[in-house]
Amino acid sequence: MKFFIDTANLDQIRQAQSLGILDGVTTNPSLMAKEGVKGKKQIFKHYKAICDMVDGPVSAEVFSTDFKGMIKEGEELHKIDPDKITIKLPCTEDGIKAVKYFSQKGYRTNCTLVFTVGQALLAAKAGATFCSPFIGRLDDIGEDGIQLIEQIVDMYSYYGFETQVLAASIRHTNHILRCIEAGADVATCPYKSIIGLIDHPLTTKGLEIFCKAAESMK
Ligand code: E4P
């Protein structure tokens, strides 16, 4: 399973990149706003800085909600770094049309705000590179986000779609573990949840014992 980091924070991206396990980055308008970037010039500069920092795809979401606006913005975003920028488009009628438009041009796309198998089917039929089902937000309303990942993974495999399931809205380390079991292609996670995979009390305790032994031999 690939690991993307779900943030627009340059320090966190740098930290995750330095671990050597980072496969890409996802951002969204809320995450960008958190970084205090304002205006097209600053926003584009920020995306460029992210692209220069990582080796994989960087999802940049359009702000427009209409097809024409999405196309204009997507074209501009693509130019920032054609090899890395992945145009992130919402799963709406206009968004699906835009996914189709960009996938026909060979641009990488991420169809976001996916909450049902039906939406995932449309994203794949439109040729999305990634489909982003939101686990945490479904859990928040009493539904089962992981079950949706399992259903989409099965459906894509049954019909032979190449669209990758990008598990999003991950809130904790256990979500990541469940995504592995579900067969997600990618999980986009906050840095804290990735680091949570490392922590184990027996690793900490075992290391203490080994350090003491090593000390005794000096
Ligand atoms: C996905 O790409 C989104 O950026 C993100 O995972 C949304 O997560 P949230 O529900 O924690 O806002």
* Model pLDDT, residue 82: 98
Which string of DSSP letters, residue by residue, matches 110-138? Answer: EEEEE-SHHHHHHHHHTT-SEEEEBHHHH
26 lines ligand 1 (CB under 6 A): yes
Range 42-48, long-range pairs (CB < 8 A, 24+ positions): 44/76, 44/77, 44/80, 46/8, 46/10, 47/77, 47/80, 47/81, 47/85, 48/80, 48/81
* Model pLDDT, residue 147: 98
* Model pLDDT, residue 19: 93
Tell me the whole-structure pTM to 2 decimals.
0.95
pLDDT along the chain (218 residues), means of 10: 97 95 97 96 98 97 98 98 98 98 98 98 98 98 98 98 98 96 97 93 98 97
C-alpha 6 – ligand 1 centre gap (Å): 7
C-alpha 80 – ligand 1 centre gap (Å): 22
Contact 187, 155 (CB under 8 A): no
86 lines ligand 1 (CB under 6 A): no
For the annotated catalytic residues, the residue numbers are 88
